[in-house]
Chain A
């Protein structure tokens, strides 16, 4: 399996073929030419052949797995000499375990997964990410009954449609009613360290609804301490069915599962994560640190293929999106109907049935440096883990930065970009603003509660929230 430039192969070959003088000469010639090529490779620092050519990547049926599907279908993986098998996974836990135990070489992951694995929340493992897969792409959907009760609390525009963004303030009276009646207000999210969990919590807390604390040091990982809304885990594709069954009253999930609820008439998406935090980082591509160290060329090459796929997806203001939707609607990828996937992927989003609004940046794969793994993005997830108690103890700002550096690997990303530019496979202009990037986005505004986030000051940020643990708090 391990081929290419490793010096062991010709040596072994030489040893075994010494019996035949002709073979020996051939091997010697081959070995010499090999040494020559490897030297020239070293001198030019040109990217070598992949060490591992057959790879298996996992994904969850969500539209934001698109870069992987496109890199495969458009032959970008093959251009790098990689033969990739793509396999849908049952849920995020199975997917993560697959990457950790080596069944999968890499996967479409929730941004929180590599971070949580590295700090040892859940399964401890060193997972890194050289590539951030997309921005935005999630929404919060509530069931029809809840929507009916919420709607009177929402201000209307002149044409009678609700004013956006809809805040959780409108949901608060409903939750209180349920609490008074002694009924638990259950909502679904996809994984304890998922973007969706943090976004749903952010939205609820911004509207004064307490989503509950975790206390892993006391063995409590259900995240329901002091909760007004009880959040539980449901795999994305099963969200609509669970909502329909009445087990949960609302959920936060990626596409197409919010649009699916509209199409099936079982729920109403109330807010997209674009409105909760404009251009928030969403999925990442995760591999183990061991994989990246053992197969450095493979790592760079797969990153190159994914970058090209992301560029294709966002090319000329989404001109390729319909083609991408067609691919995603194949049953081996996302598999939902074309119309359902197209709704969000092509720049619109249907809220209440018939209330279709323009959200051109609902799914961003490349614009706004979406693919660059920013340290500040990792730190935001860490602040939310701290805010909700998944990180039990106070941590220094330096600790946050250090964890982010361990997990997010812009060095690999930039190596991939550099070699793509050198081989003239992408125009340098696309990456001009990444020159001298330090890995921290400028302090970000555009949160639904107008709180500003500065990745360099995580503790200060945590202290700004009304609901949630402060930097020094411990449950």
Chain B
């Protein structure tokens, strides 16, 4: 009852505004002003709250400290790049000198051994999450389609999926770590072990939502379309290609968006736990450092992690909009 009244009131207010203002102003108000007000209020609360929290590492960082750290982290990145080019120059000289003495030497350029900056860590995390996600998609979508098409397969596989779905991939992490270090042995590996471990962890958490959503999407195909396909006697592959896939794209993408969001959260935690390179390690390292800048650096990372998660989600949304046949449904 009360919600009904509330609705009525807002409608009434809206109509008042509409009556007075031109539509583009209303649009501007809705898309720019309201979010800006939201952010400003948040910043205000943050600043006031931060000032009132004292930790043994100093005050909780507010927006100003975070902005300073953004500058610092960027400067460190630039400095590190300068060091990197100096490193390659020294290496070249050393290789030349050795070649002069020892012509058989197969000079090799080694990658920079310096520290990974914040910016590097962002890219490491992004690459890890996307690779894990892609691997999961390659496995999960065909599997989901197969399960969706065949009731018996669904009945057979369902218990396993249901058991593994609620398991946090972090529980898998120790097992993955041990198996990777036992199985993935090579003197000159293409990928670092830590990368493989993080990637598999991401894959494990992406697979289940994708399988389930895909299979549900496929299973709930409009029966008319299935009948059309039957009338036309489409071969199985063409049936999947022309009917099943396009029809279940919204469901598949819902699963993908869901799993990418979880994957990003899990990856950060996994990196913290396993000390694998990435933003999670950055956060953990700063926590361990316990310097007076540590908290503000962690807060910066928190915001960056949030922004990236948001961007990943928006990207998936755009992809879904482009690929989906049904442009009428609102996706958000």
Contacts and interface: CB of A to CB of B under 8 A. Distances in A.
- Whether A and B are associated in the same complex: the answer reads yes
Contact of B290 (A30, A330, A336): A336
* Residue picked from B57, B286, B290, most chain A C-beta under 10 Å: B290
Interface string B105-139: 11010100101000000000000000000000000
Contacts of B10: none
Contact of B288 (A1, A33, A61): A61
B291 A53 contact: no
A337 B292 contact: yes
Contacts of A335: 285-286, 288-291, 294
Contacts of B188: 1
Nearest to A54: B110
A101 B102 CA distance: 33
B290 A240 contact: yes
Interface string B58-94: 0000000000000000000000000000000011001
A265 interface: yes
Q: Is the interface of A mostly helix, strand, loop or mixed?
A: mixed
Contact of B286 (A9, A329, A331): A331
Contact of A30 (B56, B98, B104): B104
A84 B113 contact: yes
Nearest to B188: A1
B187 interface: yes
B174 to A, nearest CB: 12
B94 A78 contact: yes
A460 interface: no
A122 interface: no
Contacts of B292: 337
DSSP majority for the B interface? loop
Contact of B56 (A85, A94, A265): A265
Central interface residue in A237, A244, A340, by most chain B CB within 10 Å: A237
B103 interface: yes
Contact of B94 (A81, A330, A337): A81
**Which of A10, A81, A244 counts the most chain B CB atoms within 10 A?**
A81
Contacts of A336: 289-291
B291 A49 contact: no
Contacts of A264: 56-57
Contacts of A1: 187-188
B106 A3 contact: yes
B177 to A, nearest CB: 10
Nearest to A338: B291
Contacts of B104: 9-10, 30-31, 33-34
Interface string A40-67: 0000000001000110000001000000
A266 B54 CA distance: 14
Given A1-B188, A331-B286, A335-B288, A244 B56 contact: yes
A335 B91 CA distance: 28
Interface residues of A, number: 46
Contact of A9 (B106, B113, B288): B106
B272 to A, nearest CB: 10
B289 A81 contact: no
A90 interface: yes
Contacts of A83: 91, 110, 113
B268 to A, nearest CB: 16
Contact of B108 (A3, A30, A240, A244): A3
Determine which residue in A4, A89, A90, A241 has the highest number of CB atoms from chain B within 10 A of its CB, and name it: A90
A49 B104 CA distance: 12
Interface in B251-305: 275, 284-286, 288-292, 294, 297
A61 B289 contact: yes
B290 A53 contact: no
B193 interface: yes
Contacts of A74: none
A23 B157 CA distance: 60
Contacts of A72: 113
A216 interface: no
A318 interface: no
Nearest to A90: B275
Interface string B192-236: 010000000000000000000000000000000000000000000
A334 B290 CA distance: 9
Contacts of A37: 102
Contacts of A162: none
A91 to B, nearest CB: 10
A113 interface: no
A352 to B, nearest CB: 17
A42 to B, nearest CB: 15
B33 interface: no
B181 interface: yes
Contacts of A244: 56
A90 B290 CA distance: 14
A335 B289 CA distance: 5
Contacts of B286: 331, 335
A33 B103 contact: yes
Contacts of B106: 3, 9
A332 interface: yes
Contact of B181 (A78, A84, A101, A266): A101
A359 interface: no
A260 interface: yes
A264 B57 CA distance: 7
Nearest to A331: B289
Interface in A73-123: 75, 78, 81, 83-86, 88-90, 94, 101, 103
B117 to A, nearest CB: 9
Contacts of A331: 285-286, 289, 291, 297
A53 B56 contact: no
A265 B57 CA distance: 10
A237 B291 CA distance: 11
Interface string B134-172: 000000000000000000000000000000000000000
A89 B91 CA distance: 27
Given A54-B110, A78-B90, A337-B292, A3 B285 contact: no
20 contacts: A3-B108, A4-B102, A9-B104, A30-B104, A33-B103, A61-B288, A61-B289, A78-B94, A81-B98, A83-B110, A84-B113, A90-B275, A103-B181, A237-B288, A240-B56, A330-B115, A331-B291, A332-B285, A335-B285, A337-B292
Given A72-B113, A78-B94, A336-B289, 11 more contacts: A9-B104, A30-B104, A49-B98, A49-B105, A61-B288, A78-B91, A331-B285, A331-B289, A335-B290, A336-B290, A336-B291
Question: 8 closest A-B pairs (Cβ-Cβ)?
Answer: A335-B289, A332-B115, A237-B288, A264-B56, A85-B113, A83-B110, A337-B291, A90-B275
Interface of A: 1, 3-4, 9-10, 30-31, 33-34, 37, 49, 53-54, 61, 72, 75, 78, 81, 83-86, 88-90, 94, 101, 103, 237-238, 240-241, 244, 260, 264-266, 329-332, 334-337, 340
